[in-house]
Structure 1
Amino acid sequence: MVSRAGCLGVDFDTVCGYFLVLGFLSASKVGVLVRFLLLAPSVAFSNSGLLFSASSVVFSELCGHIDGSALAPQGVEALSKWEIKDAWVMTWILSSVEPHLVLNLKPYKTTTAIWNYLNTVYNQDNFARRFQLEYEMANFTQGSLSIEEYFSGFQTLWADYSDIVYANVPVAALSAVQAVHATSKRDQFLMKLRRDLEIARSNLMNCHPVPSLDACLSELLCEE
């Protein structure tokens, strides 16, 4: 079992927050990227003939390719190993950013160069990102989308928003906040359905108790 502690001596969620402050990575992709940095070294490097354990030391080294603290060495063999690691992290960043950004990154040949460019152009603090997500959530409706398409977009916005909000909630209060959010999330999902689903929505809202979001989705998929 790999420890959730990372290169900065903090837990997984805090490391995720380090990446989340940059708006070009969604919360779901941040989670994938950080898990990759934590879990992948023992697998991928062993396939390259470089056997490492997935530890905070390795994670620290990989993060160094992002923040520039892991400088390219002078020796041929050491440089070759450094380039493998740099290409590895670079590939995962490229696969994590939005597709339309990839072409802009082609001129940059190292992980640090790519990260610095993205940080300069797209950096947002958590307040700005939270405000943006709240605005998008307030204006997101089903419109011409199918139930599945609407639910998928709705879930993505809520997942990104929740990751930012929950990062500042004490552990003791987290379950209570999540319960309130679950109710609000379900109600907002139902409120923003198309008018032709008004009867189905009213039936769901008049149930005692009102079904969970997943149960509501199941009923609506049958109605569509």
Structure 2
Amino acid sequence: MASSGSTSISIDESHPFFLHHAENPGLVLVSQPLIGGENYPTWARSMERALRIKSKFWLIDGSVSLTSAMEKVPILVQSWARCNDIVVSWIINCVSPRIATSMVYRKTAKEVWNKLQNLFSQGNGPRVYQLQKDLASFSQGELSVTEYFTNLSILWDELQNYEPIPTCSCEKCVCNVNEKISKIHHREAVMQFLMGLNDSFSHVRGQILLMDPIPSVEKVFSLLIQDEKQRSVGQGNNGGPFVESTALAAKGTSFGPKNYKGKGKERPTCSHCGLQGHTVEKCYKLHGYPPGYKTKGKASLVNQVSAHIDSQDSFLHAQPQTQFPFT
């Protein structure tokens, strides 16, 4: 509680001048320090968010200046000065040592913030040109759908930071122009997203383009993720058996017993009947069949010649004895 004569004011957690006991000058609000123009846009956005969380961004935008504090409640001048010095320390802690050296002589947080903005904030024109160029040439390539969409989102967000979507602020519009502009913006994002996809997604891309109305970019991303997962599952199920069946087919064709042509000992061929496995000297058709030999038909005989090769020798050597009658 602070008081001066009849004036009293309570500084609690909801008051902009309130400082928690943990909010000391050595506090670091962002993880990545400012090193120059290359990371200023992301650093400034992160720093602005952190100061808003601490309820101290009013020192940056000048909504509560020292003059206004002195006019309203003179006794709070010291509280204003404490908050200002704390925020200056926080900003200096979040920049590189080289940059911090040039900021120590600035008195107010607003001066420090404006100085950094003037030094490192790039003009909108060159940066917008580069972002538009990157978006026009960006494609999926070897990236997954998730990686591709994430990189696109980063470019979209930064471009929107430089060129925010125009909205009607007069609060008298009855034609829903804000909603119409937003739909056009999202439709362009969907088209940009689909144009950069690989040709392997041409089928699902065609289905999305046939939808009326065109779904949101988040819904399109969800559909593509589902298609990508189904495709990976299908490839996992079909890859193994396909290779295995192909190998088996090749094995049956190349190494089957009917097609085997090995280079072993050459089998003899009969010059009389033309069959393999015996010579003309041992041909059954020429010299006669042994007693008890049973034929199974011409086709069967041809197939069984090789099975009886070993038995032919024994039958031919065992000549039948001629019996003469006694006189």
Q: Counterparts of 2:38 and 2:116 in 1: how far apart (Å)? A: 13
Alignment of structure 1 residues 69-218 onto 2, 5 Å:
85-92=87-94, 94=95, 105-110=96-101, 112=103, 120=119, 122-166=120-164, 170-171=168-169, 173-218=177-222
More contact order relative to length (CA 8 Å, sep ≥ 6): 1
CA RMSD of superposed structures (Å)? 3.9
Please say if residues 165 and 182 of structure 2, whose CA atoms lie closer than 8 Å, have aligned partners that are also in contact: no
Please say if residues 190 and 217 of structure 2, whose CA atoms lie closer than 8 Å, have aligned partners that are also in contact: yes
Name 1:25's counterpart in structure 2: 40
Please say if residues 41 and 121 of structure 2, whose CA atoms lie closer than 8 Å, have aligned partners that are also in contact: no
Which structure's residues are more often helix, by fraction?
A: 1
Please say if residues 187 and 214 of structure 2, whose CA atoms lie closer than 8 Å, have aligned partners that are also in contact: no
Residue 86 of structure 1: CA displacement?
3.3
Q: Counterparts of 1:2 and 1:140 in 2: how far apart (Å)? A: 47
TM-score by length of structure 1 reads 0.58
Please say if residues 51 and 57 of structure 2, whose CA atoms lie closer than 8 Å, have aligned partners that are also in contact: no
The 1:160/1:34 distance shift into structure 2, 3 A limit, reads same
The 1:144/1:85 distance shift into structure 2, 3 A limit, reads same
TM-score by length of structure 2 reads 0.42
Q: Counterparts of 1:107 and 1:137 in 2: how far apart (Å)? A: 34
What secondary structure, in the 3-state scheme, does the structure 2 residue paired with 1:210 have? Answer: coil
Please say if residues 145 and 224 of structure 2, whose CA atoms lie closer than 8 Å, have aligned partners that are also in contact: yes
What secondary structure, in the 3-state scheme, does the structure 2 residue paired with 1:179 have? Answer: helix
The 1:56/1:158 distance shift into structure 2, 3 A limit, reads same
Q: Which amino acid aligns with 1:126?
A: N
Q: Which amino acid aligns with 1:215?
A: K
Q: Counterparts of 2:165 and 2:212 in 1: how far apart (Å)? A: 33
User: What is the percent sequence identity of the aligned residues?
Assistant: 22
Q: Counterparts of 1:193 and 1:214 in 2: how far apart (Å)? A: 15
Q: Structure 1: where are the runs of 5+ without partners?
A: 4-21, 42-53, 64-79, 95-104
Q: Which amino acid aligns with 1:138?
A: A
Q: Which amino acid aligns with 1:130?
A: V
Q: Which amino acid aligns with 2:134?
A: E
Q: Counterparts of 1:197 and 1:213 in 2: how far apart (Å)? A: 16
Residue 144 of structure 1: CA displacement?
1.0
What secondary structure, in the 3-state scheme, does the structure 2 residue paired with 1:35 have? Answer: helix
Q: Counterparts of 1:38 and 1:136 in 2: how far apart (Å)? A: 32
